[in-house]
Chains A and B, each alone.
Chain A
Amino acid sequence: MVVLRRYLPTAIAISVGLFVLLAAFLPIQFLDAIGTYFINTALLIAAIALFLGLVNVLRVHSRRILERRPQWLFSFVLMASMLIVLAIGLLAPAGQSAGPARPAVRWIFDSIQAPIQASLSALLVFFVVTAALRMLRLRNIESAVMLLIVLLVLAGQVTLGLVPLLTDVKDWILDVPVMAGARGILLGVALGATLTAIRLFLGVERPYSD
């Protein structure tokens, strides 16, 4: 039983992964059909996982409310909002179809959720300023280099082309060292992801089983 519990999930994961990988690489109709089937099954499981997420939110926040933990009122507002939106989406009057396309649900998203998210995005500006101030405190040689680069890029950006040399320096910094660094990181990430995939296929890393 222990052997089954330990090795069966690994065997299934490796087999499914190999089928999907081969379907991506080799143009064989049989493999393609199996690969597509597995991907569709994964999408179905993801949809079920969303329901599990809903149950998790209910469990976590109902416990906070029942135990009167600090700021439990926020949990109450969250649960009430969730249940109200759910009810509006599911209980459609006669002649209207239920679901996210219902005008009332769309109004909630367009008039409440979208503005709140836009406000949160706007807040990021202030967060960037305070984070930049903390980062640019001269602590070591790295901070000094970063401060110098920031000042040069900022100077090139705010002169609006009035000082051509500064604009050229800014463009060179962004196009050469910054781009080279970003591409280096992305190449490393691609190699790291490939090796991680190999470790998964070999069953070395398997957070899904013992």
Chain B
Amino acid sequence: METIGLVLLLLALPVLFFLVARVRSGKAGQLRPLPAAEELADTVGRATETGRPFHVSVGVAGVGGSATAETWAGLSLLAELADEAAACETPLVVTVADPTVLPLAQDILRRAYNRQGHPEGYDATQVRFVASEPLAYAAGVAGLLQREPLAGNIMVGSFGDEYLLMGETGARAEVRQLVGTTDPRTLSLVYATADEALIGEEIFAASAYTKKLPIQIASLLTQDAARWVVVAAIILLTVFKILF
């Protein structure tokens, strides 16, 4: 089984490189529209105009566990948002629930302020470790959403049922919210409370929509191609099972 996994992973590489070449030559297709990705830039813009901070959460999981990919998607998005916030001198508040994410998030912010030419704008306490228990973290973030006059709330990462404490508080406080997660159960709660949602795999694509590097676009096209292969396999196997 492990060998099959490795073979599938290695098969994805030539497809990816082929699509990178096609994207560079302008022959690849366009990315499908992702309204939530446009909301990201709007949130930073709104925060800049109003002078109010915006909040970013990368989920309740850490780096090294089973939800590392989701946390990493949140951190990649944070890197993009931190760059824009640093360039526009927009206040940004980041909360983390896992201590392994704390130094990563602080480093992302520090480097963003350095890149934009004003390292003095970086403040280590912009990144706050709230609590490692998901419910306690949610209660802490709910307090922040209620207390501070935020221009937006962006939450991308791994969330469970505790999300509702934060999402509903944000909705009641009329903070514009963009939320992305992968758990289907949590997604129903996201749909009920957020203004824009990144559903499932879209959280891995969001950072590619802001940077639009050829390899990022190609990886999303590879993902789409792999999805069609899976769909075809499901249909073929179903037909095979019915017939034989």
Contacts and interface: CB of A to CB of B under 8 A. Distances in A.
Interface of A: 24-27, 42-43, 45-46, 49-50, 52-53, 56-57, 59-60, 63, 70-71, 74, 117, 120-121, 123-124, 127-128, 130-132, 134-135, 181-182, 185-189, 191-200, 202, 204-205, 207-208, 210
Interface string B75-109: 11011000000000000000000011011100110
A53 to B, nearest CB: 4
A74 B140 CA distance: 11
- Output the residue of A59, A182, A189 with the most chain B CB within 10 A: A189
Contacts of A56: 102, 124-125, 127-129
A128 B164 contact: yes
B191 interface: yes
Contact of A189 (B79, B102, B200): B200
Contacts of A208: 104, 107
B128 A60 contact: yes
Contact of A198 (B6, B13, B161, B213): B13
B3 A196 contact: no
Interface in B182-227: 182, 184, 187, 189, 191-193, 199-205, 207, 213, 215-216, 219-220, 222-223, 226-227
Contacts, number: 161
- Output the residue of A121, A192, A210 with the most chain B CB within 10 A: A192
Contacts of B167: 131
7 contacts: A56-B125, A181-B184, A191-B226, A192-B201, A198-B12, A205-B76, A208-B107
A120 B165 contact: yes
Given A71-B147, A195-B222, A207-B78, A185 B72 contact: no
Secondary structure dominating the interface of A: helix
Contact of B115 (A120, A195, A199, A210): A210
Interface string B104-133: 100110010001000000001101110011
B216 to A, nearest CB: 7
B243 interface: no
Contact of A210 (B102, B111, B162): B111
Task: Bin chain B's interface residue count.
Answer: 35 or more
Nearest to B130: A57
Contacts of B230: 187, 191
A104 B189 CA distance: 38
* Interface pairs A-B: 8 shortest CB-CB: A192-B201, A192-B204, A188-B201, A53-B99, A193-B69, A49-B99, A135-B192, A182-B184
B73 A196 contact: yes
- Output the residue of A63, A135, A188, A208 with the most chain B CB within 10 A: A188
A183 to B, nearest CB: 9
B139 interface: yes
A134 B169 CA distance: 13
Given A46-B99, A191-B201, A193-B69, A204 B12 contact: no
Contact of B216 (A43, A188, A199): A199
A135 B191 CA distance: 8
B129 A53 contact: yes
B99 A52 contact: yes
A11 B203 CA distance: 26
B62 to A, nearest CB: 7
B141 to A, nearest CB: 12
A130 B5 CA distance: 44
B179 interface: no
A59 B227 CA distance: 47
B236 interface: no
Given A25-B3, A128-B164, A131-B189, A185 B182 contact: yes
A195 B168 contact: no
B33 interface: no
Contacts of B161: 124
